[in-house]
Structure 1
Amino acid sequence: MSSALQDVHRAGIPGVFAEVRDEGRVWRGASGVADVDTGRPVRPGMRQRVGSVTKTFTAAAVMQQVERGRVGLDTPIGTYLPHLVPGERGRKITVRMLLNHTSGIPDYIPYAFPSLKGWDPAHASPESLDDNRFRRFRPAELIELGLSAPPAAEPGAPTGVYSNTNYLLLGQLLEEVTGMPAERYITRHVIQRAGLRHTGFPDGPRVRGPHSRMYEALYGLIDPPRDYSVYDMSWVSTGAGLVSTMEDLNRFYARLLDGRIVRHATLAEMQRTVPVRALDGTTIDYGLGLHREDIPGCGTFWGHDGTVWGAGTLSLTRADGRRQMSVAVNLMRWNELDSSGRPQPHPIDGALETLYHRALCGS
């Protein structure tokens, strides 16, 4: 494992850290630097902005409300949030469709960050990233951007389209049915129930506690990569706003899959997958806030990946709970784009693939 981590660093990631669990045994490691200017080393226990891994926490919170009878999975979202999703859309889109990304509501991010221009390499720029660094977004403002854009698909289409707008709506649903801010509910009833000590929603643009700087290359548009570790995370909130550690993520997924966050029957509902087109154009097997990964010879794994500006995370747990991996990197979008906007291969890709396989399947 140590050599695989070092290979990721040598391939171009400034810092990478991980925790792997195998039937009670725990391995933690790190390679590289947390700060390219000072050479401060990266450490296994550092905190990380974990991006869309947050979606599993939000989904678990919503499913707790389903268990209590306050939310119906197949109830139209307009029943709960008529002011946010009015009219025909509110009647057609169900809570389940938000959870598994089959709502057809497009992602708001291209509209909140207009300089990205759909990642068109001829016209995109990082200007919006800097403009929004300290901007405080309201969830309703971002939801409106997504709802005002052309639909990505019909509600309930056989193949979903991944969209952060769905999970901001689910945050508003939690607030509506619990009477408290969604972040507070998730903290009390998911994070604390799982016994996590280093996980939470940031209360400002800075990460509290030991953490790495987070470098964004934006597909070669930012050279050298720029540090975005100080950033107001209201642009993703209940969709991708959490800070955590690799140890906490492994503990969370172990307890979720063991039926200690939601009931086993509820977990089975979360594990009913549909094909979903991800933001990078690939198709993933997606349940209700959970991503399924089948690895030949190693088994079926559940978890989620996540990226924000400068930080990437992947956490996967085998279905039997006996093998777990959580990995963090402090550089994102390292691939350059070709003239059609497709990411080109980079040595980091292969090094990470080798690391993941070794961590999940053993040597």
Structure 2
Amino acid sequence: MSGPGRPGRLVGMKITRVRMVTVSLAAAVAAGVVLPASVPAFATTRHTVCDGAGVDASGMRQAMAGLPNTVATSAQVRVTTPGGCWTGLSGVADLRTEAPVPANARFRIGSVTKVFTATVVLQLAAEHRLSLDAPVQRYLPELLPAEYPEVTVRQLLNHTDGLPSPALPDDLEWILAHRYDRWTPRQIVRDALRNPREFEPGAKQHYTNMGYIVAGLLIEKVTGRPYAQEIDRRIARPLGLRDTYVPGADPAIRGPHAHGYQVVTREGVTSLIDVTNWSQTLTPASGDMISTLADLDTFTAALFGGRLLPPAQLGEMFTLPPVKDVSGGPATHSAGLEATTLPNGEVLWAKSGARYGYSSAIGASRDGRFRLVYSVTSTDAKGEGQMSTAEGIIHAALAMR
């Protein structure tokens, strides 16, 4: 489960082997919804050059073609290069009506939320309202047990805090049955701390939601305002992000959007369940936000361009901790982002997110001149490995650079 107990699988710039969802189109039925046996005419990619000529998007059109299929029902992509900007939509927004994906459709961004949360915490550090080297216990003295070792604010942001996660059932049927449950951040932390810590703070890196759930509480303690208000006040409104918001306990996606679906097999019958409406209270400040391609691109450009953070704090987003990941490899997560080294040695910085029905990501070169934003309504967004449509989009975007 991609709550505090199990982080969402990354579908970002890292290219790995694909685990295909092997289900026939005819078998993908849920509550009367049937995937079309052939791709309707309106499912072909619609595209516009948004910032000038000079972008060859032929590979991207091919990567997005053929939707809906067994692994995804729609895709939205925005690629910015020094030569221009390209936006494409493909697939359907609703399997019942076969309506096309609306322009500027909203979607769940999952763990891309962490980039927003990290930005606010780093802004507070720049304002000297908190210190990244100070223990969390200084600001939230009653959150962690008295005997708990000191966890610094920086360790929350770069996933070296060692905080445990709640032990929750990993059964899909249980998850679906409890998708409207409401959680509070302190309830999540309290349940998590029943488990032993994973490692001494600062000793290793393990990507989970827990550090960011605590970071959300930290924002509220330091500012005296809800985390959602600070996201809106400090980022969304100054940048004009009119379609970006924290849903709170509202399980719906407000405004135009594509439906999300999850593949389920019951008694030998494989079907798709509409999972568009889903409470995101289990991932506060770590995976709950909603946005659009245009808003995420604007945010990414502003962030990488230094409009949201001074140089010292922005540097935290491009600095990896000198520790090993729990898997034994090098740390790849900074404060909010993840580093991926391309074969030519260039490092790209990205963040992906997965909520049931939705896979999304932002990524950019360090100078921000190359940027990628996508959302794919994956039929198994929390599955193992890369989802083929997202992988094709990533490869095509890299070829457009």
* TM-score between the two structures when normalised by the length of structure 1: 0.86
Quick one: percent identity of the two aligned structures? 32
Q: Measured at CA, do residues 24 and 156 of structure 1 come closer, stay the same or move farther in structure 2, by a change above 3 Å? A: same
Which whole-Å CA distance do the structure 2 matches of 1:331 and 1:303 have between them? 19
Q: Conserved in 2, the CA contact under 8 Å of 1:42 and 1:212?
A: yes
- 2:233 — aligned with what? 188
1:137 to 183, 186, 206: 183
**Which whole-Å deviations, capped at 9, do the CAs of 1:49-94 have from their partners, x for residues lacking one?**
00000001000000011011111111111111111113232x4211
**Alignment-mate amino acid for residue 77 of structure 2:** A
Q: Conserved in 2, the CA contact under 8 Å of 1:276 and 1:286?
A: no
- Pairing of 1:18-37 with structure 2 (within 5 A): 18-23=77-82, 25-37=84-96
Q: Conserved in 2, the CA contact under 8 Å of 1:250 and 1:317?
A: no
Q: Which is bigger in relative contact order (C-alpha 8 A, separation at least 6)?
A: 2
Structure 1 residue 282, shift from structure 2 partner:
8.8
Q: Measured at CA, do residues 161 and 335 of structure 1 come closer, stay the same or move farther in structure 2, by a change above 3 Å? A: closer
- 1:107 — aligned with what? 165
Structure 1 residue 145, shift from structure 2 partner:
1.7
1:355 aligns with 2:393: yes
2:120 to 53, 61, 80: 61
- 1:290 — aligned with what? 337
**Alignment-mate amino acid for residue 305 of structure 1:** S
Q: Conserved in 1, the CA contact under 8 Å of 2:160 and 2:205?
A: yes
1:312 to 359, 362, 370: 359
SS of 1:2's partner is helix
Q: Conserved in 1, the CA contact under 8 Å of 2:363 and 2:371?
A: yes
Q: Conserved in 1, the CA contact under 8 Å of 2:261 and 2:276?
A: yes
SS of 2:373's partner is strand
What is the number of residues matched between the two proteins? 339
Q: Which has the larger radius of gyration?
A: 2
**Which whole-Å deviations, capped at 9, do the CAs of 1:84-111 have from their partners, x for residues lacking one?**
113232x421111111111111233x42
Q: Measured at CA, do residues 143 and 335 of structure 1 come closer, stay the same or move farther in structure 2, by a change above 3 Å? A: closer
**Alignment-mate amino acid for residue 291 of structure 2:** S
- 1:93 — aligned with what? 151
Q: Conserved in 2, the CA contact under 8 Å of 1:217 and 1:334?
A: no
Q: Where does the alignment leave 5 or more consecutive residues of structure 1 unmatched?
A: 117-123, 337-342
1:214 aligns with 2:252: no
Q: Where does the alignment leave 5 or more consecutive residues of structure 2 unmatched?
A: 1-59
Structure 1 residue 44, shift from structure 2 partner:
5.0
Structure 1 residue 8, shift from structure 2 partner:
6.7
Q: Conserved in 2, the CA contact under 8 Å of 1:253 and 1:303?
A: no
Structure 1 residue 218, shift from structure 2 partner:
6.8
1:15 aligns with 2:15: no
- Pairing of 1:244-255 with structure 2 (within 5 A): 244-255=291-302
- Pairing of 1:116-195 with structure 2 (within 5 A): 116=170, 124-131=171-178, 133-157=179-203, 159-195=204-240
Structure 1 residue 227, shift from structure 2 partner:
1.5
Q: Measured at CA, do residues 219 and 332 of structure 1 come closer, stay the same or move farther in structure 2, by a change above 3 Å? A: farther
- 1:271 — aligned with what? 318
- 1:49 — aligned with what? 108
**Which whole-Å deviations, capped at 9, do the CAs of 1:267-309 have from their partners, x for residues lacking one?**
112211136759x999761111111122224832223100112
**Which whole-Å deviations, capped at 9, do the CAs of 1:181-239 have from their partners, x for residues lacking one?**
11101110022233312101115111111111111237999931322111121111211
**Alignment-mate amino acid for residue 245 of structure 2:** G
Which whole-Å CA distance do the structure 1 matches of 2:210 and 2:218 have between them? 12
**Alignment-mate amino acid for residue 324 of structure 1:** R
- 2:25 — aligned with what? none
1:330 aligns with 2:377: yes
Structure 1 residue 354, shift from structure 2 partner:
2.9
Which whole-Å CA distance do the structure 1 matches of 2:280 and 2:245 have between them? 12
SS of 2:199's partner is coil
Q: Root-mean-square deviation (CA), in Å?
A: 2.6
Which whole-Å CA distance do the structure 2 matches of 1:249 and 1:191 have between them? 10
1:73 aligns with 2:132: yes
Q: Conserved in 2, the CA contact under 8 Å of 1:101 and 1:276?
A: no
Structure 1 residue 37, shift from structure 2 partner:
2.1
Q: Conserved in 2, the CA contact under 8 Å of 1:220 and 1:335?
A: no
Q: Conserved in 2, the CA contact under 8 Å of 1:58 and 1:238?
A: yes
Q: Conserved in 1, the CA contact under 8 Å of 2:265 and 2:271?
A: no
**Which whole-Å deviations, capped at 9, do the CAs of 1:102-145 have from their partners, x for residues lacking one?**
1111233x42xx2x1xxxxxxx34223322x3222111001112
Q: Which has the higher helix share?
A: 1
